[in-house]
Amino acid sequence: MKKLIVANLKMNFTKEEMIDYIKGIKNQISNNFEVVICPSFVYLSMFQNFDYKIGAQDVFYFVQGSYTGEVSPIQLKSLGVSHIIVGHSERRKYFKEDDLLIGKKIKAILKQNIKPIFCVGETLTERQLKKTTNILKNQLLIALKDISKEEIKDIIIAYEPVWAIGSGITPTANQIKEVILYIKKVIMNKYNLEIKVLYGGSVNKENIKSIINLEEVAGLLIGSSSLDPNYFISMLDLIV
Ligand code: PGA
C-alpha cells in the first residue's frame, strides 16, 4: 500500500508565493506516494486540476448557516477536498478546541465522504509525567465516542507529539513505534479493526528514512519541511 504524505502548509504564503509553490511541486513527487497538499482555505481553489490530492487544515461542523468566518465540510467538498486535518495541536492550543468539538467535526467530515486526518499527541510535560498513553486514550475515545465501526474505516489518525511540532526535536523510531502500536490497540479494542496511523512532528531529511521505514507508520504529516518545494521534493526522493 502506498504511504500517505500530507503537507500541512499552515498559515503561509501570499497568493504570488502560492503560485510559485504550485509550480515548484507540479509533477515532481513520485507516484509511489499518495500525496495530499493542505493549503490555507483561501488558496484551495488555486489547486484545481492539480497532480495531487488537496486537503484542508480545519473545518466547522455545520453544513451551512450564519456562522461568520467559518467554512463547512460541504463547501470544502465542492472545492475537491479529499482530506481534512482535524484536532491539530495548534487548533487545540490557540483556539481551545477540545475532544468533544473535534468529535463533532470528524462526524461532519465523514458525512461528506471526506477523510478526516485526526491528530492526537501529548505535551512534553505529559510525557515526562508518564501520562502519554492516558492522554492519547482520552483524546481518541472522547472524540470517537459517536463514531461507528463503519465510519472508523475512513478515519486516518496522525500521532503528533506536541513537543515535536515545529521544534526540530523528534521522538526516536522506537518511541514512535510504541505509541502508534498503542493507538492501534485502543482502536482495535473498541472496533476490532486496524487503523492507519501517520506520524507528524519535525520530519526532515535527517530523520525521514528511519520514520517512514517503520512498518507501523502509514505515512507522514509534514509542516515546515514541506514549505520549500526543493527541500520537500529532495526529502521525499530519499525514501522513494
Ligand atoms: P512540523 O509540523 O513538521 O513543522 O513539525 C507538523 C505539523 O504541525 O503537522
- Residue 118 has a pLDDT of 98
CA distance 168 to 100: 30
Q: How many helices (H) and strands (E) does the chain have?
A: 10, 8
CA distance 124 to 107: 29
Which among 4, 9, 32, 6 is positioned nearest to 228, based on CA atoms?
Answer: 9
Cell readout for 53 is 490530492
The residue whose C-alpha atom lies closest to atom 7 belonging to ligand 1 is 223
- Residue 194 has a pLDDT of 95
CA distance 112 to 76: 9
* CA 83 to centroid of ligand 1, rounded, Å: 17
- Residue 193 has a pLDDT of 96
- Averaged in consecutive runs of 10 residues, what is the pLDDT profile of the chain (240 residues)? 96 98 94 96 93 97 97 97 98 97 98 98 97 98 97 98 94 97 98 97 97 97 98 96
Phi-psi group of 13: left, alpha or beta (phi > 0 → left; psi -120 to 50 → alpha; rest → beta) = left
- Residue 1 has a pLDDT of 86
> Residues enclosing ligand 1, CB less than 6 A?
8, 160, 165-166, 200-203, 221-225
Pocket test for ligand 1, best of 202, 205, 226, 236 (most atoms within 8 A of CB): 202
CA distance 164 to 120: 12
What beta strand segments (E) does 30-69 contain? 33-38, 53-56
Second-level CATH architecture of 3-238: Alpha-Beta Barrel (3.20)
Neighbour tally for 193: CB within 10 Å: 11
- Residue 48 has a pLDDT of 85
Q: Which residues are catalytic?
A: 88, 160
Pocket test for ligand 1, best of 123, 224, 228 (most atoms within 8 A of CB): 224
The residue whose C-alpha atom lies closest to atom 2 belonging to ligand 1 is 223
Atom of ligand 1 nearest to the CA of 165: 5
Place of cell 506536541: 162
CA distance 148 to 123: 28
* CA 189 to centroid of ligand 1, rounded, Å: 29
Measuring CA to CA, how many Å separate 86 from each of 188, 190, 194? Answer: 21, 21, 20
CA distance 142 to 128: 23
CA distance 157 to 4: 12
